[in-house]
């Protein structure tokens, strides 16, 4: 049976088990090859300082933490001497530009310059990744890099990893549309008696405090050292 709120990894492991393939692990792994590492080093040459990758985009605007808060985090980390790299897809170029411009000099931008393998290698060679609930966050955890993820509460159930030593999901508990007040836990899913949702794309995660994000990044940086 399909029930919406279930971790997606376990959902598909259950399906695989039904056809005779019992689970060996629940931890996704993305193997790197030499060409991936070479690509990442060519596009973003490594420096002496620990690298922190920030990914401010997400396909759904409701999953995006405000750009202005990414700016604050990037500036704080750069002022501490860390190598801050901001990544994005070509469609997210403006988001990346705004973060880099607001955070000040020394922030490096990588937009549409890496293959998936090259991006995975870049993340694997980083000390910490900070991202919204989107592809690069999950890729970072699949190559073993400590990560801080910014999640809407419903998506934590489906997409966040269960471990916490190297993976820290920060949660927004907002369930009503910030503009019209619609309860998105009930009205977005017609199969559970709801409607079709509202048309607004306001952020559902903008109530996650900057101080909590910086504190989790600091903890993971300390654990890595």
Assess contact for 73 and 54: CB atoms under 8 A: yes
What average pLDDT does range 156-164 have in this prediction?
A: 95
The pLDDT of residue 4? 86
The pLDDT of residue 2? 86
The pLDDT of residue 76? 97
What average pLDDT does range 178-207 have in this prediction?
A: 77
HSE (side-chain half, CA atoms, 13 Å) at 41: 7
| Token pair belonging to 71 | 């700016």
Percent of the chain past pLDDT 90, that is, above it, reads: 88
What average pLDDT does range 138-167 have in this prediction?
A: 96
The pLDDT of residue 199? 85
- Residue 190: pLDDT above 70? no
């Amino acid at each position: 049976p399909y029930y919406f709120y279930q971790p997606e990894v376990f959902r598909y492991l259950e399906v695989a088990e039904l056809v005779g393939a019992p689970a060996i692990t629940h931890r996704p792994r993305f193997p790197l090859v030499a060409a991936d590492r070479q690509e990442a080093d060519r596009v973003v040459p490594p420096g002496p300082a620990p690298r922190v990758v920030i990914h401010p985009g997400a396909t759904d605007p409701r999953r995006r933490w405000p750009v202005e808060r990414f700016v604050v985090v990037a500036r704080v980390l750069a002022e501490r001497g860390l190598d801050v790299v901001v990544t994005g897809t070509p469609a997210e170029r403006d988001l990346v530009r705004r973060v880099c411009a607001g955070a000040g000099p020394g922030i490096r931008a990588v937009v549409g310059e890496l293959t998936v393998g090259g991006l995975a290698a870049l993340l694997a060679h980083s000390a910490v990744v900070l991202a919204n609930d989107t592809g690069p966050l999950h890729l970072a955890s699949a190559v073993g890099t400590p990560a801080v993820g910014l999640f809407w509460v419903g998506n934590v159930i489906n997409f966040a990893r269960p471990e916490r030593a190297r993976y820290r999901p920060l949660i927004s508990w907002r369930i009503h549309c910030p503009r019209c007040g619609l309860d998105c836990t009930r009205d977005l899913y017609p199969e559970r008696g709801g409607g079709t949702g509202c048309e607004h794309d306001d952020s559902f995660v903008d109530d996650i405090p900057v101080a909590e994000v910086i504190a989790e990044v600091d903890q993971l940086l300390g654990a890595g050292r």
